[in-house]
Amino acid sequence: MCPAGTYTQSYQKGLESKSQCADCPTGFYCNDGSFDRENKCDAGFYCHSAAKKPDQKGNECQSGYYCPKGTQLPIACPDGKFSPRAAQSEDDCSDCKAGFYCVRYVVSSAMIECPPGYYCPAGVNEPLPCPKGTYNINTKSTSNERCL
């Protein structure tokens, strides 16, 4: 019998060792050595191949992304939006907070303080420069009115 996270494929008969078991496909979990299309990972989680549980610790959807039930790849929030870890739907994505901008990386995202010389209204994915001929020495500025 195959261990959790793996399964016996339908064409396989008489396995001789656990090394012959196939990894559970991405988006699914295999907890009893068999594969069932109904065993999708929970919303808020991304099941890598060989997942043993629908809510396996360490497989939470990263911030800036959301994972519906059975997702095969985390889905990025729209530009200028941010989500908490383990977000389940696009509804969990909200505008980046005023005074910050949201950057999305390959597998995560970050909310970064708006730097001096720029301003960041809510919902931006990059800081906006102060108008030409003005400056701003403050961080976390939310409008161009802070540019002097």
Kind and range of the H or E run holding 22: strand 22-23
Encode pLDDT of 33-70 as tens digits.
888 999 999 999 988 888 999 998 888 999 999 999 98
pTM over 0.85: no
Q: How many helices (H) and strands (E) does the chain have?
A: 0, 10
Model confidence at 112: pLDDT above 90: yes
pLDDT at position 108: 74
**CATH class as words, domain 96-148:** mainly beta
Q: Strands (DSSP E) along 54-141, which ranges?
A: 65-66, 75-76, 81-82, 94-95, 100-104, 109-113, 118-119, 128-129
Domain boundaries, the chain: 1-79, 96-148
- The Cα–Cα gap between 146 and 129 comes to 11
Of 135, 138, 115, 139, the closest CA to residue 127 belongs to 115
Top pLDDT among 10 and 73 is at 73
